[in-house]
Amino acid sequence: MKIGFIGLGIMGKPMVKNIIKGGYSDVLVNGRHQDVLDELAECGAKSATYEEIGKNCDVVMTMLPNSPQVEEVMLGKDGVASYMKEGSVFIDMSSINPVVSKTIAEELAKKHVEMLDAPVSGGEPKAIDGTLSFMVGGSEKLVEEYTPLLSTMGSSVVRCGEVGAGNTTKLANQIIVACNIQALSEALTLAKKAGVDPNLVFAAIRGGLAGSTVMDAKAPMMLSGNDKPGFKIDLHIKDLNNAINCAHTVGSPVPMTAEVMEIMQWLHEHDGGNKDHSAIAQYYEFLTGDKLGE
């Protein structure tokens, strides 16, 4: 199987490495930064143009920032889709608006190219160690066929429905993560203001009903003042924008999402866009004047 992979950023680069480690040796890659291309070449990948990827690859995979980039790469002038052969497959692992996923799938179907939307959860750490969670939309047959490939990058591959269902599931995931981080920030700030060590609060409640993967990952970052991004505020803003737009389209209320979006927008405007989304705690530090780590 010849694989094309487009988008070699914080997530895409380690994902390509894991594909190669998983036994897929024929991989063509396309990205903006020559140093990344050189690094992946050392692993066995080959740099290629959109035309080369479209004409030669059995499956094309993308890991791009948002809907416009995926549309442009695939359907734009001289986009990959214009070169893809009948019977090939497109797997988009970007987190985009599910409405756009469906539109792309419809255009590809005219060329007899099938599509999976397969966004991931886990951020950079899980991209590196190959334990991402895939939420996949597409036909049962196609999901079954490409699960081994996705499993080189992830520990979980779950079919959520037809094309678009993967990104709908990802939006639900991002709402839950964002609201959890906000609640955690608020709770630890309350403990701090009340004179209780937030480190001890975390230790006491993490094993109970309030405990979560989000808490275990983000509380230590908040308490140590570590805002090095595993998942950037600006990327979460993008996801919540897609969630709110989708919610408006289908008529679903999202008041909590809107509130945490406003906090993230404030952080973006105060030089926090490239910080980890656990930096939501810094919004509360600004309001109270107290730092959790002090």
Tokens of 40: 């992946």
> What residues are labeled active site?
170
Residue with tokens 């099938």: 114
Name which of 51, 49, 46, 62 is nearest 85 in CA terms.
Answer: 51
- List residues bridging with 197 in a β-sheet: none
C-alpha to C-alpha distance for 128 and 137, rounded to whole angstroms:
23
Which residue intervals of the chain are DSSP H helices?
12-21, 34-43, 50-56, 67-75, 98-109, 123-129, 140-151, 165-193, 198-205, 213-224, 233-250, 255-267, 280-288
Name which of 257, 288, 128, 265 is nearest 182 in CA terms.
Answer: 257
Residues 6+ apart with CB under 8 A from 74: 62, 80, 81, 90, 92, 104, 108
Sign of CA dihedral 107, 16, 212, 272: negative
Three-state secondary structure call for residue 141: helix
C-alpha to C-alpha distance for 214 and 222, rounded to whole angstroms:
12
Residues 6+ apart with CB under 8 A from 110: none
